[in-house]
């Protein structure tokens, strides 16, 4: 059978038979450029992978492989040899392979190994279970070790100390903050990266993802009954992971498309943040430092970092608002449900009750003034 030779961008492969390949390449040595060749008992696909591995080691341009390519070139042969040598049980290798296929590859397979950012790794880890996160980092850390060894990258970012997800407990925490506790945090978090989403969630009823979808240019300052209140459209939301929000209007329910009304002093502070963000050229009320908005995983990580281990889940801030807005501020039930983005009950709720923004602003202002003992309007 005639030999089939295929030239490539770097090196070449000659197929002698289905299971016999000859690879050739040129590498730099102390003696100068040297031609090399190697005969392999393998398929053409395996020869292609071996030539790609050699290119990373010896080519002048030393292309940076994707994490997926590095997994195939370096990790798979290594873990297979560990099983053969008895260093790793076959069942353990199967667990690693499944974790790679289901969790690591979909997120990182196509990412160049020098492009992974620690904040992206951290937010992704929080989207996994604790057990999957630990296995995933074992795989990525080993891939990074190979990349450092072969001088593809200078440092292994997967060896940094990342925070692992908390193991699932018997049920969701249902803690809430009292108004006094929420006020204390309002002061404590001033200037922190979570301040704006905290205000929108805790004093404006936004869900976690909704609290991250706000743009500075959308924030308005209204006045009613002598009180200033921020009005914030709830038009989009961030997901657990990802760099950009879901499309505008893609909220939990149709009723979720609404406005948040935040009374002073919380609303005036939120408005001030918006003005400053506009002056800084920022697109989002809260971002991760590179201009892109925080997603839910990143926010929850920062939330725990800023508030500490005793922090209630960020999602519970909305429940806190629902509680003190009714029992402290005295908002009526219909206004509460509308501001929370809930569908009202009955024929009137479904077809007739359509308050304007000015109505909601006035309702909140009146309740706040009565709560503070400043009279009725």
Residue 358 tokens, joined: 């000015």
Length of the chain: 377
When the pLDDT of each residue in the chain is averaged and rounded to a whole number, the result is 85
DSSP code of residue 10: S
Q: What is the pLDDT of residue 352?
A: 45
Burial grade of 203 (CB within 10 A; 0-12, 13-18, 19 or more):
buried
Please name every residue paired with 24 in a beta bridge, in sequence order, or none if there are none. Answer: 12, 37
- E strands along the chain, which residues? 4-7, 12-17, 20-29, 32-40, 220-224, 227-234, 258-263
Look at the pTM and tell me if it is higher than 0.85: no
- Please work out, in degrees rounded to the nearest 5, the angle formed at the alpha carbon of residue 239 by the alpha carbons of 235 and 242: 115
Contact criterion met (CB below 8 Å) for 266 and 291: no
Residue 31 tokens, joined: 């003696």
**Whole-Å CA distances, 355 to 83, 100, 233, 345, 352:** 67, 51, 15, 15, 9
pLDDT tens digits, 335-368: 888 898 877 665 555 544 567 889 999 999 999 9
SS3 readout for 275-316: HHHHHCCCCCCCECCCCCECCHHHHHHHHHHHHCCCCCCCCH
pLDDT tens digits, 192-240: 999 999 999 999 999 999 999 999 999 999 999 999 999 999 999 998 8
pLDDT band of residue 319 (cuts 50, 70, 90) is very high
C-beta atoms surrounding 29 within 10 Å: 10
Would you list the DSSP string of 202-220?
Answer: HTT---TTGGGS--GGG-E
The fold of the 179-371 domain, in CATH, is hpI Integrase; Chain A (1.10.443)
Outline where 164-265 has alpha helix (H).
179-188, 195-202
Res 262 pLDDT > 90: yes
The number of angstroms, rounded, from the C-alpha of 84 to the middle of its chain's C-alpha atoms is: 38
Contact criterion met (CB below 8 Å) for 237 and 209: yes
Residue closest to 204 by CA, chosen among 189, 190, 223, 219: 219
């Amino acid at each position: 059978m005639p030999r089939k030779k295929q030239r490539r961008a770097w090196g070449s492969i000659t197929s002698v038979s289905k299971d016999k390949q000859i690879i050739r390449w040129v590498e730099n040595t102390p003696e100068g450029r040297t031609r090399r060749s190697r005969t392999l008992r393998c398929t053409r696909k395996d020869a292609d992978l071996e030539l790609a591995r050699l290119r990373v080691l010896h080519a002048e341009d030393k292309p940076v492989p994707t994490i997926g390519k590095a997994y195939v070139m370096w990790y798979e042969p290594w873990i297979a040899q560990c099983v053969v040598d008895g260093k790793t049980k076959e069942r353990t290798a199967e667990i690693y392979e499944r974790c790679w296929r289901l969790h690591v590859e979909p997120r990182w397979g196509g990412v160049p190994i020098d492009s992974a950012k620690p904040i992206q790794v951290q937010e992704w880890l929080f989207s996994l279970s604790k057990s999957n996160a630990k296995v995933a980092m074992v795989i990525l850390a080993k891939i990074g070790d190979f990349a450092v060894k072969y001088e593809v990258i200078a440092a292994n970012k997967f060896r940094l100390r990342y925070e692992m997800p908390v193991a699932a407990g018997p049920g969701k925490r249902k803690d809430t903050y009292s108004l006094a506790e929420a006020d204390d945090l309002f002061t404590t978090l001033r200037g922190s990266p979570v301040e704006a989403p905290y205000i929108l969630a805790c004093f404006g009823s936004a869900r976690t993802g909704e609290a991250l979808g706000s743009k500075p240019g959308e924030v308005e300052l209204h006045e009613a009954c002598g009180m200033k209140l921020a009005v914030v459209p709830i038009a989009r939301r961030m997901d657990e992971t990802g760099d950009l929000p879901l499309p505008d209007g893609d909220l939990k329910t149709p009723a979720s498309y609404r406005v948040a009304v935040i009374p002073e002093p919380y609303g005036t502070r939120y408005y001030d943040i918006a003005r400053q963000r506009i002056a800084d050229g920022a697109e989002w009320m809260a971002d991760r430092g590179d201009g892109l908005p925080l997603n839910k995983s990143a926010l929850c990580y920062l939330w725990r970092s800023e508030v500490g281990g005793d922090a209630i889940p960020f999602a519970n801030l909305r429940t806190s608002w629902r509680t003190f807005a009714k029992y402290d501020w005295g908002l009526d039930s219909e206004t509460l449900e509308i501001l929370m983005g809930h569908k009202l009950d009955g024929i009137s709720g479904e077809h007739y009750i359509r308050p304007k923004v000015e109505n909601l602003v006035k309702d909140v202002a009146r309740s706040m003034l009565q709560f503070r003992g400043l009279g009725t309007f």
